[in-house]
Structure 1
Amino acid sequence: MDTIAFTQSVLLKSSESRSCSHTRVCHSLTTLKVNCLRDCRRRCHGQVNVERRPNNQFSSGHSFAMVTQSDVKHRINGLPMSRDLLPLRNYVLVKFATPEEQTSSGLVIAHSSSEGDAIQGTVVAVGPGSFLPKTKARGPLAVHPGDFVLAGKYGGQKVDIDGHKHFLLSQEDILCTLQGGKKEASAVKPIFDRVLLKKIKSEQETASGIVIAASKELPTIGEVVAVGPGRLLEDGQYEPIELSVGDHVVYSKYSGNEYRFGGEEYIIVRASDCFAKW
C-alpha cells in the first residue's frame, strides 16, 4: 500500500474522522485534511474553542478560529489575548509613564537626573510571590497594584499591551515607591534594603583658606533621607538596616541610581553599598 492510500485508510478509520461532521467537505488528501483532523482531535479533548463558519466553508489557512474577535480582551505585542496577563512568582507588571506624564492626583512624577527613560510607572498586577527556602511559604510582596514605582533603567522585560508600554520586573529591580506620585523626596519609600541619600558635595580648604572643588577620587558622601525595611531573609524576616534618617554615610561611587527632587540631587543605593556612618 502506498503512502497516500495508507494515510487515507487511517483517516477514514479513525474515530475523529468518523465523528467529524464535515469529513466529506475537508478530509481530502491535502494539507487541509491533516489540519482539519488535528483540530477535530483537539476539539474532542477540549483544547480549542471551535467557531464553525457558515455553510461549512473553511479557509485554506485555518480550519477553525482559535480566538474569536469577541474573545479578544487585550493585545500583547500585537497578538490577541483572551485573558489578563498575570505575572509569575515575584514579578510585577508596571505600566510605564513618561517623565512629563501626570499621575491621577495631577502631580508630575519624578525625573531621573541620569536618564530620562528610567523605568517608572504604576503597578498593574503582581505575582503570588516566590517560595522561601526555609519556610516553604511564599515571601511577602514589596509593592501592590496601584503603587507608583521607580526602577533601574536596565531592569525587566518590555512588552506592549493595548498600545501602551509596560515592563515585567522582578520586585528586586524596583527601587522605591512614590507615595501619591509626588515629586518629593519625602514621598520616596525605599524597597527592601534600599536607602535614599541626599548627595553632599565634598569641598577642600587650602592652608590659605581658599575652598577648592573636591577631587573625583574622594569618597562620596550622602545624608540618609529614607530607609527600607531591610534585606529579605530566607525565613521571611527582614535583616535590620544599621542606618537611620539623618545619618551621614560614605557610599560607593559606582553604586545606585540618581534622581533629582526639588532641584536637589539624590541617589538610591543598597545598604550594603554604605561603608561607614557618623
Structure 2
Amino acid sequence: MASVQLTGTSFVAGRRAAAAPLAQSEGLRPAVFRVSTLSGSRGVGFARRSFQGLVVKAATVVAPMYTTVTPLGDRLLVKIKSSEEKTVGGILLPSSAQSKPQSGEVVAVGDGRSFGKNKVDISVEIGSQVVYSKYAGTEIDFSGSKHLILKEDDLVGILNTDDVKDLKPLNDRVLIKVSEAEEKTAGGLLLTDATKEKPSTGTVIAVGPGLLDEEGKRKPLTVSSGGTVLYSKYAGSEFKGPDGTEYIVLRASDIMAVLS
C-alpha cells in the first residue's frame, strides 16, 4: 500500500490524467488531502481518506446574470444591515467578534397568503426597517450586498429609529421592558453581575396585532400594554436600548401569567 499526495491531479477511467491546478471558486478554500491507494488490475482504488473539508460561504451567491429576486407567497427579501466593524472606541473587530445583525430594510415582498377564498397581503411595506429572528431565513449575496429571504412570521417587528423601545411588534410578538435584577440578597450581600439572577418579569411596552386565523382574520392578543407579566426564562430575543435598559421581544405564547 502506498500513500500519495494529490495537488489537483485528476484520475479519469482508472488512468492518470494531465496534472492541472484545482480551480479556486469564490467562497472556497482549496485544501490539500492525502489518500491511501491500493494497486491492482482495475486501476486506482481508494482505501481510506483523511482530508480537511472545504470551507464554504454561508450565503448562497446569486449569479450576476440575474438582476432581480422576487419573493413568493408570504416571504420577503430583506437587505441586511451591515455589522459594526469597530467598537465605540475605534478598535477594529475581527469577523468572529462582530455581532451578527438582526435588522435590515425590506426591498421586496411576496403576494401574500391565501386562506380559502380570502387573500391576505404582506403587512410590511417595502422600505420598512425591520428586526427579525436571529437564525431565520436564507442568506444570499445579491447585487454586491447580503440579503435574507424569510417568511413574514420570522419578522419580530418594525423599527424605524435606533431605540428598541420604539419597536412596533408584528403578528403575536410582544415587546417587554425587563425588570431590573436584585442588587442585594435577602441578607444584604451585594451581588456582582455574574451572580445576579436573570429576571423573568417585565412590563409590556407594545403588542402585535395577533396571528391570522383560518379565515385570514387577526386574533387580538390577551395581553395589553402597561401590564406586568411573567414569561419563560429563555424565550425570545433580547435587546438593549441606548441608555442600557434591557428589553425582550417574545411570542405571546411564551408569557405564562399576568401579575397584579
**1:199 counterpart = 2:182:** no
Give the aligned CA root-mean-square deviation in angstroms: 2.7
Q: Among 139, 144, 149, which residue is 2:130 paired with?
A: 149
Within 5 A, what are the aligned runs for 1:213-232?
A: 220-232=200-212
| Rounded Cα–Cα distance in structure 2 between residues aligned with 1:208 and 1:169 | 50
**Residue deviations 1:190-209, cap 9 Å, x none?**
01100011111343876655
| Rounded Cα–Cα distance in structure 1 between residues aligned with 2:232 and 2:187 | 31
| Rounded Cα–Cα distance in structure 1 between residues aligned with 2:185 and 2:207 | 36
Q: Among 148, 153, 162, which residue is 1:183 paired with?
A: 162
TM-score, normalised via structure 1 length: 0.60
Match of 2:256 in 1: 275
Q: Given that residues 147 and 177 in structure 1 are in contact (C-alpha distance below 8 angstroms), is that contact kept between their aligned partners in structure 2?
A: yes
Q: Given that residues 91 and 127 in structure 1 are in contact (C-alpha distance below 8 angstroms), is that contact kept between their aligned partners in structure 2?
A: yes
Structure 2 counterpart SS, 1:203: coil
Q: Among 252, 255, 264, which residue is 2:232 paired with?
A: 252
Report the AA paired with residue 135 of structure 2: Y
Within 5 A, what are the aligned runs for 1:100-111?
A: 100=84
Q: 1:210 to 1:217 in 2, by over 3 A?
A: closer
Q: Among 74, 81, 86, which residue is 2:70 paired with?
A: 86
Larger radius of gyration: 1
**1:158 counterpart = 2:139:** yes
Match of 1:266 in 2: 247
Match of 2:52 in 1: none
Q: 1:260 to 1:178 in 2, by over 3 A?
A: same
Q: Among 91, 99, 107, which residue is 1:116 paired with?
A: 99
1:148 Cα offset (Å): 0.3
Structure with the largest fraction of strand:
2
Q: Among 99, 112, 121, which residue is 1:140 paired with?
A: 121
| Rounded Cα–Cα distance in structure 2 between residues aligned with 1:204 and 1:162 | 50
Larger deviation, residues 91-100 vs 190-199: 91-100
Q: Given that residues 202 and 213 in structure 1 are in contact (C-alpha distance below 8 angstroms), is that contact kept between their aligned partners in structure 2?
A: no
Q: Given that residues 71 and 109 in structure 2 are in contact (C-alpha distance below 8 angstroms), is that contact kept between their aligned partners in structure 1?
A: yes
Structure 1 counterpart SS, 2:65: strand
Structure 1: tracts of 5 or more residues without a match: 1-75, 102-114
| Rounded Cα–Cα distance in structure 1 between residues aligned with 2:156 and 2:125 | 14
Q: Given that residues 159 and 165 in structure 1 are in contact (C-alpha distance below 8 angstroms), is that contact kept between their aligned partners in structure 2?
A: yes
**Residue deviations 1:160-207, cap 9 Å, x none?**
11111011010111101113xx11134200011000111113438766
Q: Identity, % of aligned pairs?
A: 38
**1:128 counterpart = 2:126:** no
Q: 1:141 to 1:203 in 2, by over 3 A?
A: same
**Residue deviations 1:112-166, cap 9 Å, x none?**
xxx821331100010001111xx42222322110100011121111111111101
TM-score, normalised via structure 2 length: 0.64
| Rounded Cα–Cα distance in structure 2 between residues aligned with 1:212 and 1:119 | 32
Report the AA paired with residue 167 of structure 2: V
Structure 2: tracts of 5 or more residues without a match: 1-60, 86-97
Match of 2:62 in 1: 77
Structure with the largest fraction of helix:
1
Q: For this pair of structures, how many residues does the alignment match?
A: 186
Structure 2 counterpart SS, 1:241: coil
1:219 Cα offset (Å): 6.3
